[in-house]
Structure 1
Amino acid sequence: MNATSRLHQEETQFRIILAATYPFFLVAALAQRLRPGRSPNPTAPPSGLSARRSVFGEAKAMAVSAIPFAFMG
């Protein structure tokens, strides 16, 4: 199998896993957002302004950061 084919296969697997796990992370992001007394978003970029990511962006960021663990090993 050549490198291009393998890269395409891994990209396809990544997208499938992202689509399968995104709803779970969306629920987690919503729960995190609605939880009273929560601390500010630790994944938000540090800045003087309170740059707040949307719930959908937060869910995608959580999924994208967790999925590579499925490809390890």
Structure 2
Amino acid sequence: MQRSLNPVSRLHQDAVQFRLILAATYPFFLVAACVHRLMPAPAIGIAPQRRSVFAEARSMAVSAIPFVFMG
């Protein structure tokens, strides 16, 4: 007997998977953001406004995770 999935539970399941993958990948991107921050920046006239290392890591993780769900 096949049960149909409730759309709300499917969205909840996707949200939980997203949070789990974010939690698993965030440390990797945090290290990458720290390494990137330690590298010398090219000398350009105006220095860009920087976010915190944690915000950069979250941004990188959130932008990379959708590729996991592509199939």
Would you say same fold, with TM above 0.5? yes
Q: 1:39: how far off?
A: 7.4
Per the alignment, residue 68 of structure 2 pairs with 70
Per the alignment, residue 43 of structure 1 pairs with none
Unmatched runs of 5 consecutive residues or more in structure 2: none
RMSD (Å) for aligned C-alpha atoms: 2.1
TM-score, scaled relative to structure 2:
0.83
Indicate which of 8, 12, 34 corresponds to 1:30: 34
Percent sequence identity over aligned pairs? 65
1:1-73 alignment runs, 5 A limit: 1-38=5-42, 50-73=48-71
Structure 1 runs (4+) greater than 4 angstroms displaced: none
* Structure of larger gyration radius: 2
Unmatched runs of 5 consecutive residues or more in structure 1: 41-47
> Which amino acid counterpart does residue 63 of structure 1 have in structure 2?
A
Aligned residues: 66
> Which amino acid counterpart does residue 27 of structure 2 have in structure 1?
P
